[in-house]
Structure 1
Amino acid sequence: MGRPRQFDEERVVRAAYGEFWNKGFDGTSTADLCRATGLPRSSLYNTFHSKEHLFRRALAHYVTTMTARQSAVLDTPGTTALERVRALLAVIVEDEAANQANGRGAGCFTVNTITTVASRNPDIAQLVDADLRRRLSGLRLTLMDGQLDGSVAADRDPGELAWYVTSLIYGMRVAAQSGAGRRTLEGIASTGVAALTP
């Protein structure tokens, strides 16, 4: 009978996720993961089997957390759909301002993954794609609500508008990595919201 594990798997995943987010899949070494998680190499790989498997777990943690945050903002009762989209973009501004204040410029873990490892790894690409579809679906429903409540232009396809807002979010994340400060990000968000109005 094997010895029981003496560590919390989810804590290890969260620690690994910080490393992968900051350095990417290729830039994160096994030594980095051992240092971040506090586990020896044998325990790390006995539990997670491979660096790729641990990366998938870390990415799944990130997308689950971020998609839940988006859903919580978009499901806020008592506001117009446009106000909910504006609130979502404000969350992005706050995230990036906090990252800059804390000296972290890692950007969006999902965007970083799309532009690097997802193109050569079908399993990771599938995880990213599934998350994107969930986000687009939530945005599309919100924008349809906006067309009904009059806050969003009714002559636009809500699916295309969902892609527009998603692209705006990705663009704000990349702009922040390039040095755009709070005022610039707020300007981008404000211009983006204005483009949705009737």
Structure 2
Amino acid sequence: MARPKEFDEHNAVDAAMRAFWSAGYEATSTQDLCAATGLGRSSIYNTFTSKHDLFDRALQHYITVKNATLFDILDSDAPARERIGAVLRLAADAPDSEPAGCLVVNSIVELGPHDADVNACLLADQERRLDALTATIVSGQRTGEFAADREPRAIAQFLTATISGMRVAARGGADHATLAAIADTAMGCL
């Protein structure tokens, strides 16, 4: 008879997510995952089957958590310009309790070019975020908050690239004032 799990799988995935977010996929060893989750090697492999499986679960967890906040902002009743400003501020105001940067951006660079499954997950995530940003821009164009002569999808792609750049800058050590200035500049371009 198999022994029952004596740990919270959700907490283990969250801890692994932070380890991958901090160091990247390749640089995070099984020992690092054991230290982060508090689990033994056998518990990790019995539950998640492989480092890659645990990474997939951690990446999905990250996407779910981060997108929930993003979509809450974009789906609110606030004016479109305020919603876009809030999204940019969210990127500038990352909590100190989180690793710097973005697990999605890191994974695009590290794994996207050669891991088809991870790349498909990242592309699907990107499309969902672009769709939500595009809808907000269209809404703002209808109300006159944004110029109607600009392509909404192109603006959404600009915002996505700006936010990704802010995450890279944060990973490189940019302070809050720098990130806030980037957000303000992006808002000025709209």
Q: Normalized against structure 1, the TM-score is what? A: 0.92
Is residue 71 from structure 1 mapped to residue 71 from structure 2 by the alignment? Answer: yes
The residue aligned with 1:56 is 56
Alignment of 1:10-21 (within 5 A): 10-21=10-21
Deviation at 1:178, TM superposition (A): 2.4
Amino acid across the alignment from 1:157: E
- For structure 2, the 5+ residue unaligned runs are none
Cα distance in structure 1, aligned partners of 2:23 and 2:174: 21
Please give the secondary structure, in 1, of the residue aligned with 2:112. Answer: helix
Is residue 143 from structure 1 mapped to residue 143 from structure 2 by the alignment? Answer: no
Contact conserved, 2:34 with 2:40, CA < 8 A, in 1? yes
Give the structure with the larger helix fraction.
Answer: 1
Deviation at 1:186, TM superposition (A): 1.5
Deviation at 1:180, TM superposition (A): 2.2
Cα distance in structure 2, aligned partners of 1:9 and 1:135: 27
Contact conserved, 1:139 with 1:162, CA < 8 A, in 2? yes
Cα distance in structure 2, aligned partners of 1:188 and 1:35: 36
Q: How many residues align?
A: 190
Cα distance in structure 1, aligned partners of 2:121 and 2:21: 16
Alignment of 1:79-158 (within 5 A): 79-95=78-94, 98-99=95-96, 106-158=100-152
Contact conserved, 1:105 with 1:176, CA < 8 A, in 2? no
Contact conserved, 2:80 with 2:145, CA < 8 A, in 1? yes
Match 1:180 to one of 174, 177, 182:
174
Contact conserved, 2:18 with 2:99, CA < 8 A, in 1? no
Runs (4 or more) in structure 1 with deviation over 6 Å come to none
Contact conserved, 1:93 with 1:182, CA < 8 A, in 2? yes
For residues 16-59 of structure 1, what are the alpha-carbon distances to aligned partners after superposition, in whole Å with 9 as ceiling and x for unaligned?
A: 11111101000000111111111111111011000000000000
Cα distance in structure 2, aligned partners of 1:27 and 1:5: 27
**CA-atom RMSD, angstroms?**
1.3
Deviation at 1:105, TM superposition (A): 5.4
Cα distance in structure 2, aligned partners of 1:187 and 1:36: 34
Give identity over the alignment, percent: 45
Q: Normalized against structure 2, the TM-score is what? A: 0.95
Cα distance in structure 1, aligned partners of 2:43 and 2:178: 45
